[in-house]
Amino acid sequence: MDATKEQALVRLLTEMQAELAAALAGVDFNTLTGIERYFHPTCSGISELGSGFLTLKKVGNTHAARVLIRTCIEAALKVGTVYEKPSALYRIAFTEHVNDCQFLTAADENGIIVTPGMIDAKWAKIKSSLSSLFPGEELMDAAISAETLGLWSKMPDLYSFQYKLYCNYTHATLRAHATPEHFDPELDYLTVFQCLFTALVVVNKRLSGNCPSIDTYSKRVKALGPKPSQPPALKPTMTM
């Protein structure tokens, strides 16, 4: 990727991140209820990850920037899923409960004081709160996979391609360290673009955040001419 195109992508992401941060700042969290109280902090996390990515890329720290992308994707898949299917928040929370139970075993082996009662009490409180948000719906105590998040968020390729790819950086694989040239710098920017765009849609439509330029971002990224070989996930798929 030449310097001119990279500069254009940096400008685009910088503007998007600034608009997302401003929109979130304009929403009074204390007035939010229900799933809105999930959307706000999760989209704030995506905004901060986007800011961190840009900061690291600008100083040439590509490796550290790529480590952030996987977390950004996972947040986008979750917030996108809840946007499309609000009751999925229950299964996302249950999945975290299952992970807490798995942590309990490791904590016990390392002499860390965490009791089953602490974890069960935490889940009971969360379960009651979430159940009240979705009266009449059949809520399943079943973990939700990243693949399902991709399908329910209507961004399956974001899971099947980019999420799996950037897990290489999170898990410090041989591929990531020995052959970093296999990772496309343009894909880094376009993946973060999709995550930020997802958050902008949610903030705009579900939190009534002020996102005046949201309609132009897709046009601008298409005008930059993504490579034909890039997967469909690079095109924002969330409906406005």
Q: 0.95 cut: is pTM over it?
A: no
User: Is the pLDDT at 80 greater than 90, yes or no?
Assistant: yes
Confidence band, pLDDT 50/70/90 cuts, at residue 236: very low
Render pLDDT for 110-159 as a digit per residue (tens, 0 to 9): 555 666 677 888 889 899 999 999 998 999 999 999 999 999 999 999 99
Residue 177 tokens read as: 């360290």
SS3 209: coil
Structure tokens that stand for 30 in this block:
């204390």
Amino acid identity at 207: L
| Domain boundaries, given as residue ranges, for the chain | 3-84+145-234, 88-138
Residue 67, pLDDT > 70, answer yes
Instruction: Examine the pLDDT at 240 and tell me if it is beyond 50.
Output: no
Mean pLDDT (the chain) is 88
Average pLDDT on 22-47 reads 97
Percentage of the chain beyond pLDDT 90 is: 68
**Count of other CB atoms within 10 angstroms of residue 150:** 23
Name every residue whose Cβ is closer than 8 Å to that of residue 43 and which is 6 or more positions away in sequence.
Answer: 20, 24, 79, 199, 202, 203, 207
Exposed / middle / buried, residue 112 (Cβ in 10 Å: 0-12, 13-18, 19+):
exposed
> Above 50 in pLDDT, residue 18?
yes
**Residue of 139, 73, 129, 141 whose CA lies nearest to 101:** 141
Question: Crossing angle for the helix pair 185-206 and 3-25, nearest 10 degrees?
Answer: 20
Tens-place pLDDT, residues 173-230: 888 888 877 788 899 999 999 999 999 999 999 999 999 999 999 888 888 865 544 4
CA 74 to CA 199: how far, in whole Å?
A: 12
Closest by CA position to 150, among listed 139, 164, 134, 130 = 164
Q: Which residues lie closer than 8 Å to 77 by C-beta, 6 or more apart?
A: 146, 149, 150, 153, 155, 158, 159, 163
Confidence of residue 235 (pLDDT cuts 50, 70, 90): very low
State the amino acid at position 137 in one-letter form.
E
